[in-house]
Amino acid sequence: MSVMRSVVLGCGSYLPGQVVTNAELARRIDTSDEWIVQRTGIHERHIAAEGEFTSHLAIKAAQAALDHAGVEAGSIDLIVLATATPDNTFPATSVMVQAGLGITGGAAFDLHAVCSGFVFGLASADNFLRGGAFKRALVIGAETFSRILDWNDRTTCVLFGDGAGAVVLEAQEQPGTTADRGILTSHLRSDGRHKSKLYVDGGPSSTQTVGHLRMEGREVFKHAVAMITDVIEDAFAATGTSASDITWFVPHQANKRIIDASANKLGIPPEKVVITVDRHGNTSAASIPLALTAAVADGRIKRGDLILLEAMGGGFTWGSALLRW
Ligand code: UT7
């Protein structure tokens, strides 16, 4: 029996020009390249220029995705933009992107699930497309975390970077098997009891300030691997697949140790894991589409590959998605 699937037509990304190395951070705060590399796997990150906003990064990533897909911006009828660092409190950054791309039809909204935002965005767009409400969607993850970091707090400021990534999805009829192209399954979770382990200490309703990111790193680390592997097991169970069926594992890029431990627990060999955290740092909602685009651009991800995505972040929120490219 044929079913509707959300098929990826193309992907694209954008990184700001300025690269900040660990050595540069070590000149400003009490840290070292050795500590950062050993604990996180991060060597460098990109930082947005003054006057370069989340919407600017998102527009560039979205345009690259449209070009890669070979479709006109005007054919997009849904934009879902995942970000925790919007240009303004409102309107949504997605409408800036919509206007920037010259799109005047359909709908655009922001989605806030911090580092899990891209997986939540993908799942949301997938439901709209499969339900028939929209035909062609842009799902974007875009962040300027450099704007919410306390640059004097060495426990957080060395971890994050700025960037944006996007995919174009289209509703297409498929035969209805796990050999189908498109999103095969997605699994989303949240548990607000962990809200104080990773948060921003400001906001429009509470302090009327933007605030800075605060994290109990060790606590987040402790939960990460179990939560990630749980939702991946759900994806396997829902599709009757297993780790050995996966062509590429494209995890949220927070910390190489978390990625390695998750892959190891699931039985996914290191050569199937896409890593960009070394060059990008943790770009929150942007990290997965940035990694996808990198692996497509260098020829690793090809049509027909089975791709496993996962993310975990503030809230906590966490989720997985399994798709055939
Ligand atoms: O994407 C959202 C999800 N976020 C994450 O997944 C982040 C999860 N957490 C982590 O990745 C890790 O917990 C960190 C990388 C943040 C920290 O690694 P850790 O191995 O958990 O280190 P720690 O927090 O236990 O700190 C160890 C030591 C401490 O010193 P003492 O108390 O042992 O003397 C810290 O003060 O390292 C010290 N430290 C640093 N030293 C040099 C903390 N940050 C730094 C730093 N440079 N930048």
Domains defined along the chain, listed by start: 3-174 (3.40.47.10), 182-324 (3.40.47.10)
Residue 319 has pLDDT above 90, yes or no: yes
Which amino acid does the sequence have at 121? Answer: G
Ligand 1 pocket, residue 289 CB under 6 Å? no
pLDDT, averaged across the chain: 98
d(CA 171, CA 192): 33
Half-sphere exposure of 23 (CA within 13 A, CB side): 1
Average pLDDT over residues 77-91: 98
24, 35, 39, best to mutate for ligand 1 pocket (most atoms within 8 Å of CB):
39
Q: Looking at the CA of residue 157, tell me the nearest atom of ligand 1.
A: 48
Average pLDDT over residues 237-262: 98
279, burial (CB in 10 Å: exposed 0-12, middle 13-18, buried 19+): middle
- Count the neighbouring beta carbons within 10 Å of the beta carbon of residue 85: 24
Task: Give the tens place of pLDDT for each residue, 113-159.
Answer: 999 999 999 999 999 999 999 999 999 999 999 999 999 999 999 99
Say if residues 248 and 300 touch (Cβ distance below 8 Å).
Answer: yes
Ligand 1 pocket, residue 260 CB under 6 Å? no
Ligand 1 pocket, residue 194 CB under 6 Å? no
Ligand 1 pocket, residue 124 CB under 6 Å? no
44 C-alpha vs ligand 1 centroid, how far in Å? 17
Ligand 1 pocket, residue 109 CB under 6 Å? no
Look at residue 14 and give its three-state secondary structure.
strand
Residues labelled as active-site residues:
115, 252, 282
In 145-230, beta strands by DSSP E = 162-174, 182-190, 198-200, 213-215
Task: Give the tens place of pLDDT for each residue, 225-242.
Answer: 999 999 999 999 999 999
* Structure tokens, 293: 């685009």
30, 195, 218, 252, best to mutate for ligand 1 pocket (most atoms within 8 Å of CB):
218
Say if residues 292 and 302 touch (Cβ distance below 8 Å).
Answer: no
Residue 98 has pLDDT above 90, yes or no: yes
Closest C-alpha residue for ligand 1 atom 2: 313
Closest C-alpha residue for ligand 1 atom 9: 217
| pTM, 2 dp | 0.98
Q: Which residues pair with 80 in a beta bridge?
A: 109, 139
- pLDDT bin (cut points 50, 70, 90) of residue 25 is very high
Residue 185 has pLDDT above 90, yes or no: yes
131, burial (CB in 10 Å: exposed 0-12, middle 13-18, buried 19+): exposed
Closest C-alpha residue for ligand 1 atom 5: 254
Q: Looking at the CA of residue 284, tell me the nearest atom of ligand 1.
A: 1
Ligand 1 pocket, residue 223 CB under 6 Å? no
Contacts of residue 12, Cβ cutoff 8 Å, sequence gap at least 6 = 61, 62, 63, 64, 65, 66, 67, 68, 165, 166, 293
Half-sphere exposure of 109 (CA within 13 A, CB side): 9
How large is the angle between the packed helices 217-239 and 256-266, nearest 10 degrees? 30
Q: What percent of the chain has pLDDT over 70?
A: 100
Ligand 1 pocket, residue 211 CB under 6 Å? no
Ligand 1 pocket, residue 152 CB under 6 Å? no
* DSSP conformational letter for 282: B
The reported pLDDT for the residue numbered 266 is: 97
Look at residue 170 and give its three-state secondary structure.
strand
Report the candidate in 313, 296, 241 with the shortest Cα–Cα distance to residue 69. 296
Integer-rounded Cα radius of gyration of the chain: 18
Average pLDDT over residues 31-53: 98
The reported pLDDT for the residue numbered 1 is: 85
d(CA 89, CA 212): 15
Average pLDDT over residues 233-258: 98
Average pLDDT over residues 165-172: 99
Distances (CA, A) of 233 to 42, 49, 192: 28, 40, 22
30, 155, 228, best to mutate for ligand 1 pocket (most atoms within 8 Å of CB):
155
d(CA 280, CA 275): 10
